[in-house]
Copies of this chain bind each other. A is one copy, B any other.
Amino acid sequence: MSNEQALQQYDVKKYRTPDGYTSDIAVFTILSAKAETFKPPFMDLQIMLIKRSMLDSEGRPNMEAGKWALPGGFVDPEESAFQSAQRELREETGVDHIHLEHFGVYDTPGRDPRGWIISNAHYAIVPEHLLSERRANDDASEVELFSVEKVLDLDLAFDHARIIQDAIAVIRQKLLETTVAKEFLPEEFTYSELQAVLKTVTNDSAIVLDAAFARKIKSLPFIQEVPGKKTTRTSKKPTQLYRFIDVEVNNSIYHAKK
């Protein structure tokens, strides 16, 4: 085939190319505030940010030093942005094998003063207990969790305010429109635990009212009772356990719900 000829004559310098290709990761977790015995949980959706060091790893002044930012970094040539996000999350937080999804590209000219730098934004869902191992790395002097209600009041680096805002909107939508809520829950969970996760993103009466939600969970096609299995972790009265099952959810706005 003639691709070889074409390749020989191809001038890789013909077009101006980006000055950098990066991945950013919006790491979400849910903290169970006041986890008392025999109480349904009260949960808060949080996002993990790093505080950028004053000096970079080579001892020079760092860009956007002292500001809060999404963890992330440059993509290596032999990996995709998604793989880079996985790798960075592993390197920076020790967390692996979690739900990670690409949700946007940020490439507006001028978004990064260092030049033409393209960032791929991902969101990650990390169970609370896995974040205990988190640690600060080269570029970060601190690592902290912030409630999504308050994170946008911070002084944020680059265009990360925008990216974080988008990430919050995406995870809100995903929690309600897909079954990702399961990533925040144990394998088997009670109706009030699922309810607590959903209440971090909606106030709708069908979800907030206990009786309505306890009844509804039984008719949801993607959730199944674990036969005969109960727990007392959320109340004195033993509570039925449920699990997610893999069925495709028809989310058409023109169809009735099945």
Contact = CB atoms under 8 A, between A and B. Distances in A.
Interface of A: 2-3, 5-7, 9-10, 12, 15-21, 54, 56, 60-65, 74-81, 102, 104-105, 107-109, 113-116, 118, 120, 176-179, 198, 202, 204, 206-207, 216, 220, 222, 249, 251-257
Contacts of A104: 102
A210 to B, nearest CB: 14
A137 to B, nearest CB: 17
A177 B17 contact: no
Contact of A105 (B105, B108, B179): B105
A256 B255 contact: no
15 contacts: A2-B65, A6-B62, A7-B63, A7-B114, A12-B19, A12-B115, A17-B19, A21-B118, A80-B108, A81-B107, A176-B252, A178-B253, A220-B253, A249-B253, A251-B253
A22 B71 CA distance: 26
B107 A222 contact: no
Contact of A6 (B65, B202, B257): B65
Contact of A63 (B3, B60, B81, B109): B3
Contact of A20 (B3, B15, B222): B15
Contacts of A109: 77-80
Given A80-B109, A81-B107, A222 B176 contact: no
Contacts of A220: 253-254
Contacts of A107: 21, 75, 80-81, 120
Nearest to A173: B251
A202 B3 contact: no
Contact of A120 (B16, B105, B249): B105
Nearest to A176: B252
A3 B113 contact: yes
A102 to B, nearest CB: 7
B20 A63 contact: no
